[in-house]
A and B are shown apart, each in its own frame.
Chain A
Amino acid sequence: MTVGGYRVRILRRATLPGWEAALFSVLALGVGLFLFGFVFLFAGASPMQAYQEIFRYAFFNANGIPLTMSRFIFLALSTYAFIVPFRAGEWNIGMTGQIYMGGLAAYAVVYAFGGKVSKDVPLNPALVLPLMVLAAALGGALMGGIAGYLKGRWDVNEIVVTMMLNFIAFWLVSHMIKDGGPFMNVGGRGEGFTLPTSLRAPTVLGMPFTILFVLVLAGALEFLFARTSLGYQIRAAGLSSKAARYAGMDTTRISLWVFLLGGGIAGLAAYHYFAAVPGVYKIPRNYGEFGDLAFFGIICGLIALGNPLATLPVALLFGGLSIGGRYAQGKLHLGFGVDYALMGVLMITLVAFQFFYRYRIVVEPLAPEPRPSGTPAPSDLASYGGE
């Protein structure tokens, strides 16, 4: 393609430096937010005002900040649940199902200790709390492990499997908390029973202590991928399973491990949202919306390029966007689901930007066409398709 006296060429990249990849991620975010401005315009709101409302509420408002932080913790954990298998080249879109199973497992512990009867049952938090966390992680890990095992053992498509497991877990939660299910609220409303006040999670600087999971995991996962033999094997398997097998790595076990780990982290996200966030403390009726929020983890993971440390700012931003988006929706009288739409637009922009990971655009001055040496220069018989 030529423009003026220049030739614009699209060339495949041999390599992409890390900083450039990060730059494209940031650019994609910016372009996505810009494009989403049209959704606001279309809905009759000013994009500038909308973004102002979103950011002001999410990051500078006493009511908004705790919500943003809780959402941030949830999203960061969901993102980790996505990126651990992702680094091994596998798609975990089953965070949702793993979260449901983690939530059920955590409440199963409370149920076993008799905490269903009333929210005033005095239970020993030093004993029950750790068990709840453990159970949540185990529940999520088991759910993830199914997909990981099937992927590793028989190469069963993990996207379809994790999605199917999402629906299975979704209905299992309904079974447990609705229509007289064992975890149903004593009041008979179709939602889970309330966590006894004695088991409410401690806070750190006004935030649920689950923030510690996020921070510890950020460091631990970074160390895992950058320095350890297991992390090395996960990355190798992700780039080329054939080469990994050749080098003697057990790809079946790697597949199982990453899904166990990812699922376990999703379980922690479940504990966080269903048992540690002030104001919830139960499996609510609209648990499906909580579960679907986990899909934000896919976008955060892709933008963060699978990097656990980069996940922190990205998840914080997305946490703010989704909380602020919901607020702006009410304030500016927009339809339900602004946050979902934002997720969709950011995702598709991000996909489009993948182009730049593979190609670069080169603009160079046009060289004059050389004259071929020797032989006659006969008629241009077959020149179709023009210069």
Chain B
Amino acid sequence: MTRRSKHTSFDPDAFWADIQPGEVLLSARGITKQYPGGVLANDRIDFEVRAQEVHAVLGENGAGKTTLMNILFGLIQPDQGAIYLRGQRVHFRSPQDAIRYGIGMVHQHRKLVPAHSVIENILLGHPRAQGILRLREAEEEVAALAETYGFRVDLRAKVWQLTEGEKQVVEILKALYRGAHILIMDEPTSALTPVETEKLLESIERMSEHKLGVVPFITHKLPVVLRISHRVTVLRSGRVAASLDTQDADEQRLAELMVGRPVLFDVQKPPAQEGEPVVQVEGVSARSDKGNLALDNVSFTVRSGQILGVAGVAGNGQHELAEVLAGLRGVEQGRILLNGQEITRAPVLARWQQGVGYTPAERTEVGSIGEFTLVENVAMNYFWDPDYNRHGVLDEAKLRELTEQILEEFRVAAPGPHVKAKTLSGGNLQKVIMGRVLSRRPRLLIANLPAQGLDIGATEFVQQKLLEARAEGAAVIFISEDLDEILMLSDVVAPMYEGRVVDLIPADQADKETIGAMIAGSYQQQEGTP
């Protein structure tokens, strides 16, 4: 069903000439999008961006941010409503159209080809890159552009070698090189260290001085919104809850607009009741899929009733740590003890049987099977359990009963235990996975990014469950990229950088600045530091 696009004579340079400060560059009117199944993702959204303005869009997961963003970028078409650029109506049938008209996008999950070099990525799809690639010429032009905005990046490097911050710079440069006048940024500060965040915010300010319109879409980080934006539009349940000047807003007000009710910024954490060591990790090293050293001589102990918060920017070994503990990744050196017994080389199943529970970050790919019913998904942790498996035959009635219990206890919104897992929303799926793992009452719980991408309600629920597991005497290893969350839940914080645990810091002595520096690799150990 491809439709051949008639290339009308559109000259971007002429179209974007003579931008006046404060001029409306883009306006969206009455944007409405309904998905099959009836979800009204966008409901008559009005929105506009001016030149030299940073206009933040704020909203929870599920508020319709992603849909709006995809509509502005041409990835999906609205059912109703229209987009105007400098007062003229435009139709984006694909990202190609949006890019041609000067919309640039910086994605949260970087849209770059990891195996290719930076300059190849920047050139990919560029209309001027026809026929034989002229890399040298392009390199000079991009370097000049980077100079203007104060970016630094090695154009010959392969993208997979770059840090998250550098990848983001590549995306921005790519958009600017394509002639973007409106830059949409999806969760611009997520996955960045505090230092990188600071640099980014400075660049955004510089870009907005250059008559660009910048539109960051943000979920949680209210301080970032307050710091960089001039205007903010808050979305809730697919509608515009409010659109206001940032100088009139504060954190509490924005949070209330987002959620629709007053928000408490804290989960109640009872004092720790620490017991015996449950897991002891001693000098463990392991390799990543690419073969480089992903875990480098890591040691720590987690006791019963204790939460160890593993903090770090994605790709610093947390993922490999979780897999090593679960038995999914081989250990190169060192050993792991569970309740005093060595399990370094124990197979995955033996670990489940000895009380290790693991909720992976990849919920749909690893933690569940979409084509399986909820009962069958629950069976993932019970197919070997003698109570549910008699002489190799599974006890279906008992499994169903257990599933119903989990659905009820974890308040999963599902029509019943026999629906397929892929019909559940992300939050409900995570509840099923957590419910399944916690129903085994694990001695050691490894929770990898348990609240990532969930809405506020589900996030609070998941956090509460981790605390309950702790109260029941489990040792919990809690991996998160969100420092606020780490500080709120952990008893001990373990910041990771390049495969090493930088330090183990009791929660009452931990502060955000120090940990932020540690996970960025910029922390200098001072004499007398604990």
Contacts and interface: CB of A to CB of B under 8 A. Distances in A.
Contacts, number: 137
A250 B349 contact: yes
Contact of B30 (A14, A247, A370, A380): A370
A46 B426 CA distance: 57
A243 B368 contact: yes
A243 to B, nearest CB: 5
Contacts of A227: 393-394, 396
B328 A246 contact: yes
Interface string B276-319: 00000000000000000000000000000000000000000000
Contacts of B528: none
Contacts of B44: 373
Interface stretch (B163-171, B195-203, B381-389): B381-389
B89 A379 contact: yes
A378 B328 contact: no
A328 to B, nearest CB: 40
B80 to A, nearest CB: 4
Nearest to B82: A372
Of A233, A379, A381, A385, most B-chain CB atoms within 10 Å: A381
A216 B101 CA distance: 66
B29 A382 contact: no
Interface stretch (B138-146, B369-377, B467-475, B511-519): B369-377
A11 interface: yes
Nearest to A11: B36
A15 interface: yes
Contacts of A372: 29-30, 80-82
Contact of A232 (B8, B29, B84, B376): B376
Given A245-B348, A247-B380, A250-B347, A15 B367 contact: no
B384 A229 contact: yes
Contacts of A376: 87
A383 B6 CA distance: 9
Interface residues of A, number: 41
B46 interface: yes
Given A240-B369, A248-B384, A385-B5, A378 B88 contact: yes
B46 A374 contact: yes
A205 interface: no
A236 B93 contact: no
B135 to A, nearest CB: 32
B6 A385 contact: yes
B383 A247 contact: yes
Contacts of A375: 27, 29, 84
A249 interface: yes
A373 B47 CA distance: 12
Contact of A374 (B5, B30, B380): B30
A248 B367 CA distance: 12
B371 A239 contact: yes
Interface in A6-62: 10-11, 14-15
A239 B366 CA distance: 11
A373 B422 CA distance: 37
B351 interface: yes
Contacts of A380: 89
Nearest to B390: A229
Interface string A95-111: 00000000000000000
A382 B90 contact: yes
A366 B326 CA distance: 53
B352 interface: yes
Interface in B386-412: 389, 392-394, 396
Interface in A343-387: 362, 369-370, 372-386
Interface of B: 1, 3-8, 10, 27, 29-30, 32, 36-37, 44, 46, 80-82, 84-85, 87-91, 93, 97, 101, 326-328, 347-352, 358, 360, 362, 365-372, 376, 379-381, 383-384, 389, 392-394, 396, 420, 422-423
Interface of A: 1, 10-11, 14-15, 227-230, 232-233, 235-236, 239-240, 242-243, 245-250, 362, 369-370, 372-386
Q: Would you list the 9 A-B pairs with minimal beta carbon distance, nearest first?
A: A248-B349, A381-B88, A382-B90, A247-B380, A248-B348, A372-B29, A372-B30, A384-B6, A372-B82
Given A372-B82, A383-B89, A384-B91, 9 more contacts: A14-B37, A14-B423, A239-B372, A246-B348, A246-B380, A369-B80, A372-B81, A374-B46, A385-B5
